[in-house]
Structure 1
Amino acid sequence: MWSWTVAENGTSFIPDRALLHAVEYPSRATVYVVLTLASILFLSGYTRSGTQKLAPGVMVVGGNGKQTIRANRERFREHAKEMLEEGYRKSDGGFFYVPSPLGERLMIPVRYLEELKAAPVEEVDFVATFIEREIVDSFADLFPACEAMLTQIVARVSSCMFGGTTLSHNEEWVKSSIDFAIDGFIGAQKIKKYPEFVKPLVARFIPEIRKIAAHYEAAEAAAIPMLESRRRTGETATDLLCWMAEQAKGEEQDLRFLAGILLKVSFAAIHTSAAAPAQLLYDLCEHPEFIEPLREEVNNAIGHDGLIDKSGFMRMAKMDSFMKESQRFNPLLLITFERVIHRPLTLSSGFTIPAHTTIGIPTQAITMDETLYPSPGAFDPFRFSKMREERPEMDGRAQYVASNPASLGFGYGRHACPGRFFAAQEIKAIMAYILQNYDLRFPAGQGRPESLRVETQFLPHPGATVEFRRRS
């Protein structure tokens, strides 16, 4: 019997309670006046980047005329990938501006990564066994009834790491940790159209932002009793919540503060980690000839106890390569290492980045550079495992979790994603379980769906169907 599931899409905006507190005081009349003014500004083409100073001599994708830039800001919403690849190609990997709804972003050559990551913060600001058991329990509870199966599974597995099974089996927490990101993403898309000064007032009329407070309350209801019990009994645990409580100092020890941090961490962990398995399932269905080699590798990684330990996951080089190649074609973000330059910053070459410039690295365009990746347009699942075999010195640089100038999917420097090692093991565990227990395919006539594009984000298409059949 074949059944189906639908992939869930990811997000990249962390809503904060501060915005909600800021909207409690204005009178209704004041709100209407400000909203009217905001609408006039918005309709007349107001943008905070209208007076943005551009570095002289740097190309602007699509041209640097005022009307052209304005048109390309809108084009960026759906064609960011093509615009970034065009800029990277025409600048030969050098500096270029790409217009976006939030202003012209300056793309930086990777050779400046080291000096930028070392720049002072005031100048450059940065915008195991129990896991496998939780995966088994999650599949048993959720498959095949839940459309957002992967998101639910990742939410529970991540919650197990955050606060043990007490947290991962708390249905209200799991639901709120998922919805928090969805509401935050939708709310962000709605509110970012308005000027900064009016956003706190507009927020009170956006339903998704109004729901954020309830998600914080759910986090407090789940986390505070656990924290209070542990303080009272002196109990310790090997989870994130316990570690945060032990390391907290001063105001950080406030239980509501810790619960809020837990919610924000869950935002970063859940939807990003759910997006990767969704893309991997699509790639496996599109290239079924790679299922058996991966399944064989999984079987060889299983220990005598029937589980995969840390060394077993490390031996899954083909799975790691498959994950990295899938990420190369469908990265969560087209631009990484995004920073805001607060004051003019002169680089070693003499090039000066103007103050108030948003910079970034065109990560996806770099991964399609044929000088770095032979035949970059060809999907080669074992590209990186072959690289590790043929060139042992590349072993560390060719891994899924690698963070280097040619592999920036997880960022770079002091702000590289610290959870990427856990995420990699979590994704491998999910894929290993699926390969061990299910056959999968697209329905007849369906091919791999293109990822949804929301400016610089690539999201798994939520409308595609994947059929599963339990293996005997």
Structure 2
Amino acid sequence: MALDTLASPILFWCAVVFLVSTELYYLLPKSVSDKIGQYCLSLGSIIRDYSSGKYYKPWKSAKAIVVVSSKRQIMELSEAPVLSQRAAYADMFGFKHTMNKLDHHDHKVARSRLYGRLLQVNGPTNLAKLYPHLQKRLEQSLAHELEAGVSTDGSVSIPIAQTVRRLASRMNSLIFFGERLSADPVFAEALLRYPADMVKCMAAFQVTPSFLSPMVHSLLTNRGRAMHIIQNQLISVLGVNQKNWQEVPEIKQMTIIHNMSEMVEGNDYWSPDVLSQSLLGIWFAASHQPWMNLDFILLELCARPEWQTILRKEIGDFSAYDYERLEKLPLLDSFIKETIRMNPLDTLAIRRKALEEFTFSDGGIPVPKGSTACVSSFNLMHDKEVYPNPDEFDGRRFVTTMSSARGTKLTEVSEKFPIWGYGSLACPGRFHASLVIKMILAHLLSSFDMRFADEKARRKWSWETFTMPYESTRVVLTKR
């Protein structure tokens, strides 16, 4: 959500009241005079921060964060049993509430293995077969977005964040749930809204006491409406209506929901409820990052129009493409990767929560129980040994650089490019994300010239370690 949206009068004063109430809770143990004084200071600080467009630093006392950097440390960070990925993100996103009472400790090894087989092993083959259906979905969805845009002199102005969010959601939903199920307007809207609900709750949970989390979740998500719509539909398809699920066979057999149900057939643990809950988690992981990366990539293309020409020349006739050919565009791959390197969505990565105190084998700083260990994705992706002139944007960096980064692809897992994680828990859905991003980019580049509607408009904002697109930024598309 953009700061200019947050600054609207109603939301602004709601935020003030909400945050001040939280401050009062934490001030209760202090004397009355201290409470009054700190209350006034907090109120003034909140108003100054929101009115000036700055992010607000939560006042919850945070536990230590240990940042590691060597390859050996990163491997231990990724693989140590007492350093939990799920626990870190369960705390951040409140899985107990946002994923309908998910117990992140339950069968965690079995879940990880299933997700790996489902997305990383079977994914590329299924994506290749789904490609023509995804191409059709993209063309239909983009046409709908353009109809809703503002037309002037043969060009169309679109809100870029909202547009790419919907395009990515529509394409991902076909990969997950097939043509007919994902075409249901209520279900499709819930799929679009659910990741946004998760992010809103994540931000709110950082500044509220834990006992208020159920109420916060209920208020921000309309009592979890999107979550329940999705899960109820999935339970129906995976349960009593599984045999009656109507879908084109050639699409159905390639969907994530169908493959997941087949892989666990006969296993009593994987009930329709558990499967639907797992799919909620996979959906969030797959849908909340690609559209933001897409937004930043398109903004870079608008800021560097010469790269539109360069990539358009490499792509050629996009209408004749298939999955394999799309993966053989080194300049497009490099430009995407360089944009992500320069615009990381989170300056920290590979987050793990210590379930008990942990010390790395090199005898470094111990990680106290309950604390977070991670890497600095910003620092790793600005290492001069790997990325010469790291503060300069170089769209050809991964094609022409004379460092170890040369020739590495977007989907490769590396400690020097940690956006996918690392080790055995590296993101298994990275091939899906890469395909969605590349298809949308290639289609737009082949069909349109792109420019900013307002060169001076704000394009991104920061909150804590996160960077997010502005909702209000508009891009003008001119048909070629």
**TM-score grouping bracket, smaller chain normalisation:** 0.7 to 0.9
What do residues 239-291 of structure 1 show as CA deviations (whole Å, max 9, x unaligned)? 10001111235455432333333333222222311111111111011000111
Amino acid corresponding to residue 118 of structure 1 in structure 2: E
Q: Is the 8 A contact 2:3 2:461 kept in 1?
A: no
Amino acid corresponding to residue 262 of structure 2 in structure 1: E
Is residue 43 from structure 1 mapped to residue 12 from structure 2 by the alignment? no
Is residue 337 from structure 1 mapped to residue 350 from structure 2 by the alignment? yes
Alignment match, 1:261: 278
Alignment of 1:66-465 (within 5 A): 102-111=62-71, 112-120=73-81, 122-126=82-86, 127=88, 128-145=131-148, 147=159, 148-196=162-210, 198-200=211-213, 202-203=215-216, 206-221=218-233, 224-225=236-237, 228-231=240-243, 237-248=253-264, 250-299=267-316, 302=318, 306-351=319-364, 352-387=366-401, 398-443=408-453, 446-447=455-456, 449-465=458-474
SS of the residue corresponding to residue 468 of structure 1 reads: strand
Distance in 2 (CA, whole Å) between partners of 1:36 and 1:292 is 51
Distance in 1 (CA, whole Å) between partners of 2:24 and 2:181 is 47
TM-score, scaled to structure 2? 0.71
Distance in 1 (CA, whole Å) between partners of 2:66 and 2:472 is 34
Alignment match, 1:15: none
Task: For residue 422 of structure 1, report the CA deviation from its aligned partner.
Answer: 1.3
Alignment match, 1:14: none
Task: For residue 203 of structure 1, report the CA deviation from its aligned partner.
Answer: 3.5
Give structure 2 stretches of 5+ with no counterpart.
5-18, 31-44, 89-130, 150-158
Distance in 2 (CA, whole Å) between partners of 1:336 and 1:101 is 21
Task: For residue 325 of structure 1, report the CA deviation from its aligned partner.
Answer: 0.8
Distance in 1 (CA, whole Å) between partners of 2:294 and 2:337 is 12
Give structure 1 stretches of 5+ with no counterpart.
1-5, 10-34, 47-70, 84-98
Distance in 2 (CA, whole Å) between partners of 1:411 and 1:337 is 5
Q: Is the 8 A contact 1:451 1:458 kept in 2?
A: yes
TM-score, scaled to structure 1? 0.73
What do residues 22-41 of structure 1 show as CA deviations (whole Å, max 9, x unaligned)? xxxxxxxxxxxxx9997644
Amino acid corresponding to residue 428 of structure 2 in structure 1: P
Q: Is the 8 A contact 1:370 1:376 kept in 2?
A: yes
Name the count of aligned residue pairs: 385
SS of the residue corresponding to residue 148 of structure 2 reads: coil
SS of the residue corresponding to residue 135 of structure 1 reads: helix
Task: From the superposition, tell whether residues 42 and 358 of structure 1 become closer, same or farther in structure 2 (CA, over 3 Å).
Answer: same
Identity of aligned residues (%): 22
Q: Is the 8 A contact 2:83 2:355 kept in 1?
A: yes
Q: Is the 8 A contact 1:163 1:241 kept in 2?
A: yes
What do residues 170-215 of structure 1 show as CA deviations (whole Å, max 9, x unaligned)? 111111111112222223322332333x1355437x5114431453
Distance in 2 (CA, whole Å) between partners of 1:356 and 1:182 is 27
